[in-house]
Amino acid sequence: MRPGKVIVRRSLRRALLVAGAVGTVLAVGLATTTVVNAVSTETEKDRIVSYGRLVTVDDRSMNVVITGEGDRDVVLLPGFGTASPALDFAPLVAELAEDHRVIVVEPFGYGLSDGTDRPRTTDNIVDEVHAALQSLDVDRYVLMGHSIAGLYAIEYANRYPDEVTAFVGIDTSVPGQPNMDTIFPTGLLAAAKNLGLIRLVASVTGDDLDGLDYDDATREQMSLLSSRNALAPTYLDEMSHIRTNFADAAGTGFPARLPLLLFVVADNAVNPDWIDLHERQASAVDDGTVVPLDGEHYLHHTRSAEIADGFRLWEADRPLGDG
């Protein structure tokens, strides 16, 4: 036997031993994170504190939180993947509820609402949110939404023009915005969640609420609900429909007679045309206003007072369907 062959075989043996050792470590590690995730998920259920009220939609429970009193109702809809819309919107709700009745709807898969196996198409989401409001006899309101709610709101306002008196956007999505044709690896993400890898990463990186106006108890609840809802089947199904929901919305817009007020991040480094996209959307209706604000995508985390005050000044000059 030539020495060269002995060296190759010994090197291959070492490589196989190393690979086997690494594989064993990974298998043990994944088994550990999987068990920790399963146990933590089960124990965390008892630490989640209920809020709001449940209404029945499509034989499932949807959570709705109503705060304040006033002559006008404001219905708040969350951006994609918001773990707890009611808690996330709390600073803005506190501002608006001084003189409005504010209704936060937590769609299926969000907050304390049930999940669903009904496809997360725009049509289905709009239908379900409307059914929740109907069950509460809420039939005349300003629709206000964050992020992807702006896409759903177009369908909503066109379908229920006698109910929606205005739309107020908080850095909302716009049909035709770039990079919304991504196909997400939902299967891989589901596996990562089940294996406990998402929980592991979250424990290292922490949340993004530092310096914001949320107390420790609220932050804990948001974290618990994020662990429960993020990358759950309903979440992943909505993620998988983002591409087709945007494709279906191409070329659509709000009803021409619907007043629009759009609060938009002033400097979007990822999309330099962000303001222009919203200006075009506002110009397509009879009464559209764009208000640039400094800040990040979740403007209601840091600019809730400015949003509420700006909305009051804007609505004071408009009947918004009164009478």
User: Residues 164-198: pLDDT tens digits?
Assistant: 999 999 999 999 999 999 888 887 877 667 665 55
pLDDT of residue 201: 58
What pLDDT score does 86 carry? 98
Residue 25's pLDDT is: 42
Higher pLDDT, residue 160 or 10: 160
**Bridge partner list, 164:** 141
Q: Which range has the worst mean pLDDT, 44-48, 166-170, 172-176, 272-276?
A: 44-48
**What is the residue-averaged pLDDT of the chain?**
86
Model confidence band, residue 24 (pLDDT cutoffs 50, 70, 90): very low
Q: What is the pLDDT of residue 231?
A: 87
Superfamily of domain 53-183+210-316: Alpha/Beta hydrolase fold, catalytic domain (3.40.50.1820)
Residue 243 has pLDDT above 90, yes or no: yes
Q: What is the DSSP string of 260-290?
A: EEEEEES--SS-TTHHHHHHHHHHTSSSEEE
- Over residues 64-92, the mean pLDDT reads 97
Q: Give start and end residues of each alpha helix (H) in 143-215.
A: 149-159, 186-194, 197-205
Domain ranges (residues) in the chain: 3-47, 53-183+210-316
Q: Cβ distance 285 to 256 under 8 Å?
A: yes
162 Cβ contact partners less than 8 Å away, ≥ 6 residues apart: none
259 DSSP assignment: -
Residues forming a β-bridge with 101? 73
Confidence of residue 28 (pLDDT cuts 50, 70, 90): very low
Judge contact between 73 and 142, C-beta under 8 A: yes
Q: In this predicted model, what pLDDT tens digit does every residue of 113-161 receive, in sequence order?
A: 999 999 999 999 999 999 999 999 999 999 999 999 999 999 999 999 9
**pLDDT by residue (tens digit) across 210-225?**
778 899 999 999 989 9
Is 253:156 a contact under the CB 8 Å cutoff?
no
Q: In degrees rounded to 5, what are phi and psi of residue 242?
A: -55, -45
Closest C-alpha to 76, from 134, 153, 175: 153
Kindly state the percentage of the chain with pLDDT values over 70: 79
The predicted model scores a pTM of 0.86
